[in-house]
Structure 1
Amino acid sequence: MNISNQTTEEEDETKPLWRYVSKLRKTPGGGNNMIKCSSCDFSFNGSYTRVRAHLLRITGEELEFFKKLDNEASLKIEYLKKKKVPLPHVSDEGKQTNNNDLNPKLKGSLQAAFNIQGRDTVDCAVARMFYSSGLPFHLARNPYYRNAFSVATNTSNLSGYVPPTYNKLRGPLLSKERRHVENLLQPIRNSWNQKGVTIVSDGWSDPQRRPLINFMAITESGPMFLKSVDGSGEIKDKDFIAKHIRDVIMEVGPKNVVQIITDNASVCKAVGMLIELEFPSIYWTPCVVHTLNLALKNICAAKNTEKNSDTYQQCSWISQIADDATFIKTFIMGHFMRLSMFNNFNSLKLLSVASTRFASTTVMLKRFRSLKKGLQEMVINNEWSSYKEDNVDSAQFVKETLLNDNWWMKVDYILAFTTPIYDVLRKTDTDMATLHLVYEMWDSMIENVKKVIKLILIDRWTKSSTSLHCLAHSLNPRYYSHEWLSEDSHRVAPHLDKELTQERKKCFIRYFDDVVVRRQVNIKFANFSDGREDFDDADSLNDRVIFVFSQGTPHITKKRKLNYGILQEMTFHWMTMEFSILLAYLLMNQN
């Protein structure tokens, strides 16, 4: 007997109805036995399903049923049956007609016209479905939920309609819906060869702790899910990940893919090198948000290593402040009475920030700063000191820390010098295209931080920047405007910057193998940067002023469960510019 069959039999023995029958002997075929009913002495061959059908008198299974069960056994078995709980009683008046001053004849007419009693019954039945299945109440706000009932009530000839069954929902209806969605997405697929695609990949774990790798295609039309790979039992090395990215590239079309975006893990960097080697026109770009988060971790949780000794010496105190804040939060949230005291003095809540969230330390300290007044009022209240049921020493430490001005000064200092990094992280962690802003954001951020922090950021930028960032920066009209250049005397236009020019040339060489085509692109770029020929009209020159104001403050949205920081580094914003439309045209026709 194999392990699965043995486990099934052991679980089967625990079921409640076995106590009313006796197993005579094992019979061939599956888990069948010769079984004798203890109440009626009837013998039959079968499994627990047959026992249940016999004892509970379930019809429709072509079994012989008897009524010789004694009263005690019958009562116990009846108790095991699922009871159908009746709906709440609906009065004749209905909940909408409780006005006693209403004329009885008119009241009856309204009830008949609007079938108020029937509506109340349906409401109770729908509510019962929610309560019995544990469905969240916000499901009632789903427009498709409301639309389903509207369709059912407004469609004629639906008398006797029965909702789809479990198997129908998970089978044919699901397949039909998927085919419909794929048809809706087909226009986006058709635009890939014209506008290009960024392929985004990120790993996560589902509620069953299965390691999954998502693949999405990003265009200016928005993100489109391609597939998810289950990595259970696999070694997630560079060859495994590169194989699946290669499959996605072939599915999308190598000529349609502009770049691959992943996080900054060493294995992903190795994957990027393999992909760039096999597909020279495709860039691997590390996630900017993930890079900034690693920089913040280097600062707020510096490790004491030989290579990191200077940073650790300058920043190790930050870890102690973060640990103190974590201890205070854990102490308050871990004791009911302390949490009750906290709620009495604060309208905001303490955040349980997951370590996997970007800028987790900064987010936690910003919330502490917002709660400073309420936290101090809480610990100086007599109730805090008089409560002795938990760890008094810990409570005293919390009180002393929250009343320590020097501790709060350190919190303010941490938030002050990490603000430039945090602001850039928030601006790039959105559902907007930000690749054309990244180069300038990094440059301004590095100039606005302390020396030791500057070295960390420069190191991270050197590891994560690509020539694609430089090309995107060069194609943004904002950086040619007089308004932007006059903000800082050290600023120069992108076409006059030596570093940008070198990286831009590298990008053109990778995209355009044909020397003649590349010469045309260089001429067009020169006209674009100098505002000549096709780019000297009033609209094109006015765009340079508009871009200064329209792109100064990107829209900030809430963090999505999926890593949207990775998704935002799209190249397709510059496809909307006149020069980039020409660039896309040349890409399509260079062969």
Structure 2
Amino acid sequence: MVGSKNVVHLVTDNASNYKAAGTLLNERYPTICWSPCAAHCINLILKDIGEMGTVKSLVSLASTITVFVYNHKYVLNWFRKTNGWKEIIRPGETRFATTFIALKSLHDHKDSLQALVTSGDYKNFLKMNKGKEVKQIVLDDRFWNNCLITVRIMGPIIRLLRVCDTDERPSLGYVYEGMFRAITRIKKLFRNNERLYKPYIDIINDRWDRMLRKNLHATAYFLNPAFQYDTATFSTHPEITNEFWVVEEEQEGELDYEELEEELEEPPIHGQCSNSEQLEDDEDEAEDVDLETFQRRNFFNDEDDDWH
């Protein structure tokens, strides 16, 4: 028999029946922590953002380009003959992250695509309506600007998904910091302009607060050496420490509380762990993107100033 005292944490799907079972489990065994699957929750965040009108429009335009390239052998062979060519990633039907990975892949091919549609080899395709449409999209700077901004919005979230959706090492201690990092990066990208970042932050907060967030996530962050030993970035915000003590009080057993408090007050050993190596990412600066044209409903109409 395993026994309830030997079970620390139970993770299930986010479906309502599993949530109900998790609640019943907590009521009967207060020492067992239950939480929904972090990877599933993050995937739902990606799904919700992908269904936003402006993002859906952007993805549709990107798909037009990709489908055109792979439906015309001459165009595809033209690309494959170029040095260093890599295939354009196409989104999967059930993997929401691949939508944004495909946008990143398409943006990486920007120069090659623009070289194609401005070359003499593309003349015959201009006789086709779809060929004209593809050229118009590829030469529109606002389309590429919006691709870049969307990729940068999703970057920290996809990095966190990769951490959570792996069996290589436990990921619980990285979820809290990863969510905070994603929100911070999005605000920074939009230069703290609430009108621009609010739709994305609202989606993240809704899924995080309503579905995923548990005291256990703050506790795991608080006890994670990758963060705790980095005094430059480690947070001891009351919200985190309070949630830690809530979890601690729920645990029964032979805990020496005074000894535990003394251990937590010991200064960390500097230099032994770096700050969140799993979630390390590049500094995404907003200087090279045009925020004022982002989220336009129609990328080809200069007079359309409606925002989503």
User: TM class by shorter-chain length?
Assistant: 0.7 to 0.9
* Aligned partners of 1:421 and 1:445 also within 8 Å: yes
Matched, 1:419 2:155: yes
- Give the direction of change, closer, same or farther, for the CA distance of 1:268–1:326 in structure 2 (3 Å limit): farther
Q: Secondary structure at the match of 1:485?
A: coil
SS in structure 2 at match of 1:449: helix
Is 1:553 the equivalent of 2:288? no
| Corresponding residue of 1:460 | 207
What is the CA–CA distance in structure 1 between the aligned matches of 2:209 and 2:260, rounded to whole Å?
Answer: 26
From the superposition, tell whether residues 274 and 327 of structure 1 become closer, same or farther in structure 2 (CA, over 3 Å).
farther
2:219 to 448, 471, 483: 471
Instruction: Report the alpha carbon displacement of residue 353 of structure 1 after superposing the two structures with TM.
Output: 2.3
Deviation of 1:275 after TM superposition, in Å, equals 3.2
Q: Distance in 2 between matches of 1:402 and 1:267?
A: 47
Give the distance between the partners of 1:291 and 1:432, measured in 2 at CA.
19
Match of 2:97 in 1: 359
Instruction: Name the residue aligned to 1:95.
Output: none
Q: Which residue of 2 aligns with 1:284?
A: 34
Read off the aligned partner of 2:142 and give its amino acid letter. N
Which ranges in structure 2 are unaligned for 5 or more consecutive residues? 188-196, 281-308
- Give the 3 Å change call, closer, same or farther, for CA 281–298 of structure 1 in structure 2: same
Task: Report the CA distance between 1:358 and its aligned residue.
Answer: 4.5
- The alignment status of 1:505 with 2:253, answered yes or no, reads no
**Structure-1 separation of matches of 2:152 and 2:227:** 27
Distance in 2, matches of 1:291 and 1:528, equals 34
Q: Bigger relative contact order, structure 1 or 2, given CA contacts below 8 A and separation 6+?
A: 2
Residues 90 and 98 in structure 2, CA contact (< 8 A), matched pair in contact too: no
Aligned ranges 1:177-196 → 2 under 5 Å: none
CA distance in 2, matches of 1:466, 1:353: 32
Report the 3-state secondary structure (helix = DSSP H, G, I; strand = E; otherwise coil) of the residue aligned with 1:447: helix
**Are the structure 2 counterparts of residues 505 and 330 from structure 1 closer, same or farther at C-alpha, using a change threshold of 3 Å?**
same
Count of aligned positions: 267
Aligned partner of 1:486 in structure 2 is 232
Instruction: Work out the CA distance in 1 between the residues paired with 2:69 and 2:28.
Output: 55
Question: Alpha carbons of 1:500 and 1:392: their partners in 2 closer, same or farther (altered >3 Å)?
Answer: same
Give the aligned partner of residue 304 of structure 2. Answer: none
Give the distance between the partners of 1:299 and 1:470, measured in 2 at CA: 25
Indicate whether 1:408 and 2:113 are aligned.
Answer: no
Q: Which amino acid aligns with 1:529?
A: L
The CA RMSD over aligned residues, in Å, is 2.7
1:273 aligned residue (10, 23, 30): 23
How far the C-alpha of 1:375 sits from its partner, in A, is: 1.3
Aligned 8 A contact 1:296 1:359 in 2: yes
Tell me the CA shift for residue 394 of structure 1.
0.9
Q: Secondary structure at the match of 1:281?
A: coil
CA positional deviation for 1:411: 0.9
The 1:383–1:553 alpha-carbon spacing in structure 2 relative to 1, beyond 3 Å, is same
CA contact (8 A) 1:351 1:364 kept: yes
Matches within 5 A, 1:70-109: none
Any gaps of 5 or more consecutive residues in structure 1? 1-249, 303-315, 557-591
SS of the aligned residue for 2:81 comes to helix
Residue by residue, what CA displacement relative to the aligned partner does 1:131-158 show, whole Å, maximum 9, x if unpaired? xxxxxxxxxxxxxxxxxxxxxxxxxxxx
Cα drift, residue 323 of structure 1:
0.8
1:492–1:331: structure 2 CA closer, same or farther, 3 Å change rule?
Answer: closer
Cα contact 2:13–2:40 (8 A) shared by 1: yes
- Label 1:380 to 1:492 Cα distance change in 2 as closer, same or farther (>3 A): closer
- Relative distance call for 1:528 and 1:277 in structure 2 (3 A) is same
1:279–1:372 Cα change, 3 Å: same
CA contact (8 A) 1:290 1:358 kept: no
Measured in 2, the distance between the counterparts of 1:449 and 1:468 equals 25
Q: Could you report, residue by residue, the CA deviation over 1:153-212 in whole angstroms, capped at 9, with x for unpaired residues?
A: xxxxxxxxxxxxxxxxxxxxxxxxxxxxxxxxxxxxxxxxxxxxxxxxxxxxxxxxxxxx
Bigger CA drift: 318-327 or 287-296? 287-296
The question of 1:255 aligning with 2:1 is answered no
Which of 331, 351, 370 matches 2:108?
370
Shift of 1:267: 3.6
- CA separation in 2, counterparts of 1:530 and 1:269? 36
TM-score (norm 2): 0.76
Greater radius of gyration (CA): 1
Aligned-partner Cα distance in 2 for 1:366–1:460: 24
Give the TM-score taking structure 1 as reference length.
0.42
CA contact (8 A) 1:432 1:555 kept: no
Q: Tell me which amino acid in the other structure corresponds to 1:266.
A: S
Between the aligned residues of both structures, percent identity stands at: 28
Letter of the structure 2 residue corresponding to residue 458 of structure 1:
N
SS in 1 for 2:163: helix
